[in-house]
Homo-oligomer: A and B are copies of this chain.
Amino acid sequence: MRVALDAMGGDRAPAVNLEGGADALRRYPSLTTLLVVGDEEILREEAPKHGLDLADPRVKLVHAPEVIGMSEPGAKTVRRKKQSSISVAMDLVKAGEADAFVSAGNTGACVAAAQLKLRLIPGIERAGIASGLPNEFGPCHLLDAGANPEAKPTHLLGYAIMGSAFAKGVYGVALPKVGIMSNGEEDEKGTAFTKQTFALIKEFVATGRAPFEFVGNVEGHDLFERQLDVCLCDGFTGNVVLKSCEATAKAMSKWLKQELLASPVRKLGAMIAKGAFVNLKERANAEAYGGSPLLGVNGVVIIAHGGSTATAMRNAIRAAVESVNHKVNDHIIEALEGISKMEGGES
Contacts and interface: CB of A to CB of B under 8 A. Distances in A.
A246 to B, nearest CB: 6
A72 B330 CA distance: 44
A284 B70 CA distance: 32
B276 A272 contact: no
B259 A269 contact: no
A205 interface: no
Contact of A188 (B71, B250, B251): B71
Interface in A257-279: 259-260, 262-263, 265-277, 279
A265 B270 contact: no
Interface in A269-295: 269-277, 279-280, 283-284
How many copies of the polypeptide does the oligomer hold? 2
A255 interface: yes
A259 B272 contact: no
Given A243-B221, A244-B223, A266 B275 contact: yes
A120 interface: no
B269 A255 contact: no
A90 B228 CA distance: 39
Interface of A: 70-71, 73, 134, 146, 149-150, 181-184, 186, 188, 190-192, 194, 219-225, 235-237, 239-253, 255-256, 259-260, 262-263, 265-277, 279-280, 283-284
Given A236-B237, A252-B253, A259-B280, 8 more contacts: A183-B240, A223-B247, A240-B240, A255-B284, A259-B279, A262-B275, A262-B276, A266-B275
